[in-house]
Amino acid sequence: MIVAFKRDAVSNSDMGRLIFVTGGARSGKSRYAQQRAEAFSGRLLYVATASIGDEEMAVRVQRHQLERDDRWLTLEADVDLAPQLAAAAEGCSAVLVDCLTLWLNARMAVDGTDADRIAAAGASLLAALQALPATVFVVSNELGCGIVPENRLARSFRDLHGLLNQRFAMAADEALLVVSGLPLCLKSNL
């Protein structure tokens, strides 16, 4: 059962928080984060980090767009996300970044496996998100439960992604793991 949040369920103490939502592929993490964000009144910002590289991805993106009502604004930004956030989120009560995994993929296309550059870009993104007056939901895949990848690039991606997830989870006011559509609270600083 996926928990639905009503708009009147949001209190002032929820404003300006960072909520990190992780889970495996198709675990329900994006749906959960979107429902939480939609509990806020007013304008909402969806930050799309995916690049459309084929027809199947285009269909996925279109499906996600149809699931959002007219309160949602959309910012499409894969690599240089941090500098665009403040202007895009102006007047929004909640921001949903979906997802950190695809952002890292795009970032690695620019920075390769340079851990220092990736860490700096991640720190910049985190700081930009924390500076927003809106509550921010960051969705990210949990990749650490699988087998060790056989090739170096995949191992580097997994390692950099794990470090990025750790940084965001540690900075978050709330961190959740979604498994089979059910949220498990990992951390809550209420």
* Strand order, beta sheet including 92-98: 72-76, 43-48, 92-98, 135-141, 18-23, 174-179, 182-188
Q: Say whether 81 sits in a helix, a strand or coil.
A: coil
Q: Is 64 a catalytic residue?
A: yes
Cα angle, residue 146 at apex, residues 22 and 104 outer, rounded to 5°: 50
Q: Compute how many other C-beta atoms are within 10 angstroms of the C-beta atom of residue 103.
A: 25
Of the residues 17, 31, 43, 64, only one is catalytic, namely 64
Q: Tell me if 138 sits within 8 A of 74, measured CB to CB.
A: no
The answer for 79, left when phi > 0, alpha when psi is -120 to 50, beta otherwise, is alpha
H helices of the chain, where? 29-37, 55-66, 85-89, 100-111, 115-130, 152-171
Query: Which residues are the active-site residues?
Result: 64
